[in-house]
Structure 1
Amino acid sequence: MPSIILAPIKFVSISDDSTVNFGDVLQITPKSTSKAFAGGGGGNTGDWSVSISVISFTNTIDPDVNDSNNAGNN
């Protein structure tokens, strides 16, 4: 289905595993996955981001072996 884009488009980073979608799509599967640990406000993105954290604790205990298996998507 065709789409009309009325707003500016901003590409922050382009790499081998990037995905850009315009219009309708049936399924988008990830080609790679990763895990990151960050404290309060550590994952904020945007042009004008403000985060005020007085105390921040991050739980990094992860007893399972496989979190996101996407070997079939490549």
Structure 2
Amino acid sequence: MPAMVGAIKVNSISSSGIFHIGDVFNISPSSQSKTFAGAGSFNTGDGLQVRNDYSVTQVYDADVVDQPMVGNI
């Protein structure tokens, strides 16, 4: 379904990232990673004011596989 796309702001695209505008049938990941970050780490936007007085990041993860890559080509 065609659509009109307005202004786009791209800050960065990683080596395994996907940037697509327009119609798409299927987009599936070709890599996986696990990221741990503290409070306020992934905030995006212009003119943010973030205050985190106390932040603890728990990195213990009991399960082995979070996102299986079986079947993704």
State the TM-score bracket (shorter-chain normalisation): 0.7 to 0.9
Query: Match of 1:70, SS?
Result: coil
Q: RMSD over aligned Cα, in angstroms? A: 2.1
For residues 27-66 of structure 1, the aligned pairs below 5 Å read 27-66=26-65
Aligned length: 73
| Secondary structure in 1 matching 2:71 | helix
**Cα distance in structure 1, aligned partners of 2:49 and 2:33:** 25
Identity percentage of aligned residues: 42
1:56 Cα deviation after fit: 0.8
Q: TM-score, normalised by structure 1?
A: 0.72
Moved more, 28-37 or 57-66: 28-37
Counterpart position of 2:67? 68
Paired AA for residue 59 in structure 2 = T
Matching residue's letter, 1:12: N
| TM-score for the superposition, normalised by structure 2 | 0.73
Amino acid at match of 1:4: M
Q: Write out per-residue CA displacement over residues 44-70 of structure 1, whole angstroms, 9 at most, x where no aligned residue.
A: 122332210111111111121111112
Deviation at 1:25, TM superposition (A): 4.2
Q: Aligned letter for 1:57?
A: V
Kindly indicate which of the two structures has a greater share of residues assigned to helix.
1
**Aligned-residue offset at 1:71:** 3.9
Deviation at 1:42, TM superposition (A): 1.3
Tell me the equivalent position of 1:3: 3
